[in-house]
Structure 1
Amino acid sequence: MRKTSAPLPTFIPLLIGITAISFSSIFVKWSSAPASVQGMYRLLFTAILMLPFLKPHWKELRALSIKNWLLLGTSGFFLALHFLLWMGSLKLTSVSSSTIILALEPVFIVIGAFFFYKEKTSAAAISGMVVAIAGAVLIGLGDIGVSRDNLLGDLLSVLGTLAVSVHMLIGQKMVARVPSFVYSFVVFLSAAVVFAVYNAAAGVSFTAYPGRDWGIFLLLAVVPTVFGHLLFNWLLQYVPASTISMSILGEPVGASLLAFLILGEAITLFQLAGGLLAIAGLIVFLNAGKFKSRPKSDIPVEPAHPAP
């Protein structure tokens, strides 16, 4: 079952994680490498960085059942699919348009959590979610793609958001069975393997990239992955996936601001107003979003297959 309380106030790791993942789109834009290569090395370098801390968990890793290995591998597959689609979308559309679509994640998570985990939320929390999503949509109103490439980028971001929602729902289930560190290590490594297979099959070069790109691969591993996704995986022990996904609504705000400061992408009045709305809705949700699960357990009787 999920643990009752984190060793520090939840908003602290949430704030760190949101800030860290906000840099992800900037790093992706900076690199000239294909999205599949960026994703592969991002996850591979993260797994390598985790290796020195794996020894205390070696016994737990070896004790994983075949069923758990399959679930972890599935989670890794959907994480890789998310990165492939979302990072690919950034090659076609703006940071604001791509990250704003990630605001759909709480909707997919809440729906999935209701069907698979029987989680419900209060009216106040739903109101906060609606306000935050409305604000997130407002951010991108002045930047909605109108060209064919931009529309394709928007579609890739939608599909990437669906993929990460599946990844998060599996993660919520798995961290109740295995330590979050073991979960993260196996998922990141399996996602890197998925990318490697994809790149090999597509004939994408593994090494033909300048030193600048290798530095960006490392930044992607350290900043948004270790201080973002790894931190969020750890938080799944204490809060539902729906709460974490709702908090990630802060990413469009942070990413749009960073894109303005670093990439020179303009912020419109719609985006500014939307950012304020998203933050207000997020505050309401985090204060009122107490999800209820079935009394006996957070984990349902095994569904056909739960949907990062």
Structure 2
Amino acid sequence: MNRTNKVPYELLYIIGIIAISFSSIFVRWSNADVAVIAMYRLYLTNLLMLPLVWRYRREWMGLSARHWGILALSGIMLGLHFLLWMASLRLTTVASSTVILTLEPVFVMIGSFLLFRTKVNRMMLAGISIAMVGSIVIGSSDFQLSGDALVGDVLSMLGALAVAVHMMFGKHLRKDMSAFVYNFSVFFFAATSLAVYNAAKGNPFVGYDASEWGNFLLLAIVPTLFGHYLFNWLLKYMNTAAVSMSVLGEPVIASVLAWVLLKESLTAYQLGAGLFILFGVWLFIRHGKE
């Protein structure tokens, strides 16, 4: 990457962090079931991407049955992530939920070590330990506030675990396919798995007012296309570790947005434990090896 390209990529990186930080705000603004919110967020993202599908028709036709199987599994795990994490936002604060979600790269490395024997150095272990301690502190302090807040923390952690599995599938698949084909396919499988869940649960698919559809669309455009998809695109031009650092920016910006837009306050425990987690995850990513 030459020097003239550095500023635009860095600006896009900042835009991506701000975009994903709005996700929790839009979810809290909606009154629909979280599974419905997640389903339409992804289906509408697919709809926005639809005009470019024909351009990738040959790549799709060349995918094997094994590729489709892993894409489906990756999509199901992404759908589970959205279901769990969005549910956590109904029970705990934006600050607690988003900061616990930053454990994703830690879970990815643990899975990589268990499955592929990826090397883990002492500094990475130190980062994992610090981040986990911070999570325990947040959980214990939230339990003092209410049992529901603790349940929300657990749901956020399970959501981080689900998206870590999704990312591991994605890292394997992205060796053989473009970012567009991977994202469109995974979004579709995730949305469809959520549609099955909604049908089984009896959630209505229609009858939502204009403000709800506006929230669904905002989630598709802002945090999904300008956030997650943008980061996947930037992986081609920026260091993977640098892109991974975006997880540290989301809870900071999301907490500020929640304070301004949702009137949420930060307790001393949440602030201290959140900084502890962020430091641990930063230490982990900083000393991680590809």
Q: Same fold (TM over 0.5)?
A: yes
Name the counterpart of 1:108: 107
Distance 1:227 1:165, change over 3 A: same
CA contact (8 A) 2:134 2:276 kept: yes
Structure 2 distance, partners of 1:182, 1:92, is 35
Shift of residue 183 of structure 1?
0.1
CA contact (8 A) 2:128 2:280 kept: yes
Aligned length: 286
Distance 1:125 1:107, change over 3 A: closer
> Cα deviation per residue 1:150-187 (whole Å; 9 max; x = unaligned)?
22222222221111110011111111111111000000
Name the counterpart of 1:297: none
Distance 1:221 1:56, change over 3 A: same
- Stretches of structure 1 lacking an aligned partner (at least 5 in a row): 1-5, 292-308
For residues 177-256 of structure 1, the aligned pairs below 5 Å read 177-235=176-234, 244-245=243-244, 247-256=246-255
Name the counterpart of 1:92: 91
Name the counterpart of 1:170: 169
> Cα deviation per residue 1:134-164 (whole Å; 9 max; x = unaligned)?
6777778764564232222222222211111
Structure 1 distance, partners of 2:157, 2:279, is 24
Distance 1:237 1:270, change over 3 A: same
Structure 2 distance, partners of 1:226, 1:7, is 21
Secondary structure of the corresponding residue to residue 81 of structure 1: helix
Q: TM-score, normalized by length of structure 1?
A: 0.80
Shift of residue 80 of structure 1?
0.4
Q: Give the AA of the match of 2:56.
A: H
Structure 1 distance, partners of 2:238, 2:144, is 35
Structure 2 distance, partners of 1:17, 1:64, is 29
> Cα deviation per residue 1:47-102 (whole Å; 9 max; x = unaligned)?
11111122221110111111001101110000001111111111122112222221
Structure 1 distance, partners of 2:244, 2:194, is 24
Q: TM-score, normalized by length of structure 2?
A: 0.84
Shift of residue 130 of structure 1?
5.7
Instruction: Give the CA RMSD over aligned residues.
Output: 3.1
Secondary structure of the corresponding residue to residue 249 of structure 1: helix
Secondary structure of the corresponding residue to residue 54 of structure 1: helix
Higher helix share: 2
Q: Give the AA of the match of 1:160.
A: G
